[in-house]
Amino acid sequence: MDILLDILNEMVKAHPASNFINSLHQQYCNRGGLSKKQLEGLHSKAVKAQIISQGKLATLEAIIKKKPTRERAAATKTAVLPVKDEAIGKNISDILEKYPLHKRLLFFKSKFDNNENIGALEIAEIERFGKLLLK
């Protein structure tokens, strides 16, 4: 016994011109089920029509309550861009003036220019290069 199909058939007979009821009937026949929102819409229409028995309406309510409520996830917060430390940028550019083809410092400069995070170990490496190369 398919209560949903019975309700849909009775609603189609009562409202043959209703696009909403016809589309629900079509979807139920093709896919074999309806979403929770569609079932809630069907329930509200069936209550207004007052042609569906109370037992079938109660069964429809139970089916609606059984279905999980899917909520959209809250919007994620974007990470705050790190503030550029101009001392690091100046240190990199000073070393690159003296050694313009230093590959590791060119890599750090590209990270600095693209606002990527430069870690503590990388900052220590830049300072070490500055001490070694800028004496």
In three-state form (DSSP H/G/I as H, E/B as E, the rest C), the secondary structure along 38-91 is HHHHHHHHHHHHCCCCHHHHHHHHHHHHHCCCCCCCCCCCCCCCCCCCHHHHHH
Do 50 and 7 belong together in one domain?
yes
Whether residues 12 and 59 share a domain: the answer is yes
Amino acid of residue 39? L
Q: Is 74 among the domain residues?
A: no
pLDDT digits (tens, 9 = 90+) for 54-74: 999 999 999 999 998 877 777
SS3 4: helix
Q: Is residue 84 predicted with pLDDT exceeding 90?
A: no
* 109 neighbors 92 (Cβ within 8 angstroms): yes
pTM listed for this prediction: 0.53
| H-run or E-run covering 20 | helix 19-31
Of 106, 108, 105, the C-alpha closest to 118 is 108
Co-location of 53 and 23 in the same domain: yes
**Whether residue 100 sits in one domain with residue 55:** no
Cβ neighbours for 112, distance < 8 A, ≥ 6 positions apart = 84, 88, 89, 92, 118
Predicted confidence at residue 11, as pLDDT, reads 92
Do residues 19 and 49 both lie within one domain?
yes
Q: Examine the fold and report which residue of 33, 66, 99 is the final residue of a domain before the chain moves on.
A: 66
For residue 82, what pLDDT band results from cuts at 50, 70 and 90? low
Same domain, 43 and 96: no
For residue 100, tell me if it sits in a domain.
Answer: yes
pLDDT tens-digit map of 6-39: 999 999 999 989 999 999 999 999 998 899 999 9
Average pLDDT across the chain, whole number: 89
Answer yes or no: is pLDDT of 113 > 80: yes
